[in-house]
Chain A
Amino acid sequence: MMAAFLQFGIGLVFGLGLVASGMSNPAKVLNFLDFGAIPAGTWDPSLAFVMAGAVVVTYVGFRAVLSRSRPIFAERFFLPTKRELDLRIVVGPAIFGIGWGLVGFCPGPAFTALGFGSRAAFIFVAAMLLGMGLARLLSILPRLSRLVAPADPLET
């Protein structure tokens, strides 16, 4: 309960960061991605500063936090262990980037946009959750069906 309460606060700080940085405004995101606007002078490089600020703080902070034996509310740290570059690490982000470039919302700012109360944000988030659900279902389907019928009868 305490952990969930604190996670609300952490989400709030994240959301405030999105609002303060301008990332919650799709027009600003699209103007950052619009490198074709450099000659006209309307390219908005602000988001590079969001990225830089966030990455530097996270780099330093993670080093300090991960040097501890465990997190406060869990037995261990849950860090991605996968190292190899497969097709999915390119195809997934490629698809995500197209959607990002079409409207200017990535998942965080899309949720924060709900708080602005716009109808467009609700439509976007509903479609996004549908896409997320489908992708997750497709990725765990092999694992689920294997529990029912092993692909290889000799495999235990």
Chain B
Amino acid sequence: MAHTGAVTAFTPVASLIGGVLIGLSAVMLMALTGRIAGVSGIAARLLPPYEDKEFAGRFAFVAGLVAAPLLVLFARGELPEQTIAAGLPLLVIAGFLVGFGSVWGSGCTSGHGVCGVARLSIRSMVATMTFMVTGAATVFVMRHWS
């Protein structure tokens, strides 16, 4: 089955601005708490066992992530576009793989892809190239393998 998702517009300016905000957030977190803004690491440490006393801060960070679209809704009166094409089994399988893989590999798009690459970490560059390749290969199989 060659299913093609919804076509999305190329948004270089909005995406660059969004990227700058993500970078500013990572820099502020480092300046304040001395920690890498890696969402998978932050989220995984919300689960037991607890090895330090940073739970409140981590929870607050994740709550901020969740609150962002609500702020947009409040400011603009409507939510931005979001299309999730996947059905239930795929959501469960993909969610599990994303969670397991990101923690097993010590990071995801934010920890490796942004912070690690910005620190010129070889491990993070290898990780980032790996998930880009398997991500693209998965999309290729899902959409063009028929």
Contacts and interface: CB of A to CB of B under 8 A. Distances in A.
Interface of A: 1, 3-28, 30-31, 33-37, 42, 44-47, 49-59, 61-62, 64-66, 68, 70-74, 76-80, 82-83, 85, 88-108, 110-116, 118, 120-121, 123-136, 138-140
Interface of B: 4-12, 14-37, 39-40, 43-44, 47, 49, 56-72, 79-86, 88, 90-110, 112-119, 121-123, 126-128, 130-140, 142-144
A67 B29 CA distance: 15
A101 B134 contact: yes
Contacts of A128: 43, 95-96, 98-99
B122 A85 contact: yes
A10 B138 CA distance: 32
Main secondary structure of the interface of A (DSSP, over half): helix
Contacts of A12: 64-65, 67-68, 71
A116 to B, nearest CB: 5
Contacts of A19: 18, 68-69, 72, 80
Contact of A83 (B25, B114, B123): B123
A123 B11 contact: no
Contacts of B32: 3, 6-7, 10, 71-73
A127 B95 contact: yes
Contacts of A9: 64
Contacts, number: 501
Contact of A97 (B5, B49, B86, B132): B132
| 5 shortest interchain CB distances as A-B pairs | A92-B105, A11-B64, A21-B18, A15-B68, A53-B19
Contacts of B103: 92, 131-132, 135-136, 139
Contacts of A4: 56-57, 59-60
A118 B82 contact: yes
Contacts of A97: 101, 130-135, 137-138
Most chain B beta-carbon neighbours within 10 Å: one of A6, A61, A95: A95
Given A14-B37, A26-B83, A53-B20, 18 more contacts: A5-B60, A11-B60, A34-B143, A54-B20, A91-B105, A93-B105, A93-B130, A95-B134, A96-B101, A99-B96, A103-B90, A111-B66, A112-B65, A118-B82, A123-B95, A126-B95, A128-B99, A129-B43
